[in-house]
Amino acid sequence: MTQRDTCGNPAPDQYACHPASEHGACASCASGERLGFRFSYAYQPIVDIHTRDVYAHEALVRGVAGEPAPSVLANVTDDNRFRFDQACRIKAIKTAAKLGMQSRLSINFLPNAIYRPELCIRSTLEAARAHGFPIERIIFETVEGERISDAKWLTEVFREYQRIGFLTAIDDFGAGFAGLNLLADFQPDLIKLDMELIRGIDQSRSRQAIVRGTVGICRELGIEVIAEGVETPDECSALHDQGIRLMQGYLFSKPLFESYSQANSLTWPTGLAG
């Protein structure tokens, strides 16, 4: 396995970029929350339209007063990218546990910030244990817009996460860099269809055909499909007709800052047979 530095570039040797601490985790993992800026989270539900329940909540980074994600991400540099990724995991778990979240928790991660997955995951495991959040309820998904510089490296990271017991998800599937070639090498637990495929799908035969084909492939491979960015009842109905039961979008709920949605507070479209 090729080792990586904090920017995802090959490291000159196994411990060149982040020497292991006395506890076995790399030094940067151990100090993952030492950043020069603060942030918090909003949580948006991923719903199961068949059971009318919340399947998971995605943790979405926000400023400490609820400012949008770009206000936080503007502070991320090559120098603190690794520490930010580690801090995000810890903060997402800690906040979800404090809120009493019982659903699965989906955490975006930066695969290009990981240099050795079996070590870099340890602070996440420690946070889950410390806050009593079961690892089998944690989903790791590639962050939206994160272009994977090395698909084989992503599969190495994902395989290690699956081995440990986490669920895995590929975000923005169909956006070009997260497509069939990646799926041929690795089968995650879930894929999230790119929202550009979802927008106006009720009026687009081509989008319907592409989504129908993707759902068929994923069904054969044992992968669940999530449609993200669902905004209208007609889009929801069209996706349901394609066999998709897991959805996310403003139709059901906007992200809630430092809070999360209960199933009985969501907007549920009518007329969908299970």
Please determine, for residue 8, whether its predicted confidence score (pLDDT) is greater than 50: no
Domain containing residue 66: 27-265
User: pLDDT of 125-157, one tens digit each?
Assistant: 999 999 999 999 999 998 645 555 566 777 888
Q: Domain containing 99 — which CATH number?
A: 3.20.20.450
Give the pLDDT confidence of 175-214 residue by residue, as tens digits: 655 577 778 888 999 999 989 999 999 999 999 999 999 9
Beta strands per DSSP E along the chain? 40-48, 53-62, 104-109, 138-142, 167-173, 190-193, 224-228, 246-248, 256-257
Is 13 among the domain residues? no
Residue of 117, 93, 151 whose CA lies nearest to 18:
117
Per-residue pLDDT tens for 16-56?
Answer: 234 344 344 454 444 444 688 999 999 999 999 999 999 99
Kindly report, residue by residue over 80-111, the tens digit of the pLDDT. Answer: 988 898 999 999 999 999 999 999 999 998 77
Question: Measured between alpha carbons, how far is 219 from 138 in angstroms, rounded to an integer?
Answer: 22
Residue 11 lies in a domain: no
Query: Does 10 map to a domain?
Result: no
Residue 123 lies in a domain: yes
Count of structural domains, the chain: 1
Which carries the bigger pLDDT value, residue 67 or residue 122?
67
What is this structure's pTM?
0.85
Question: Quick one: pLDDT at residue 29?
Answer: 47
In a domain, 178, yes or no: yes
Domain membership flag for residue 145: yes
In a domain, 58, yes or no: yes
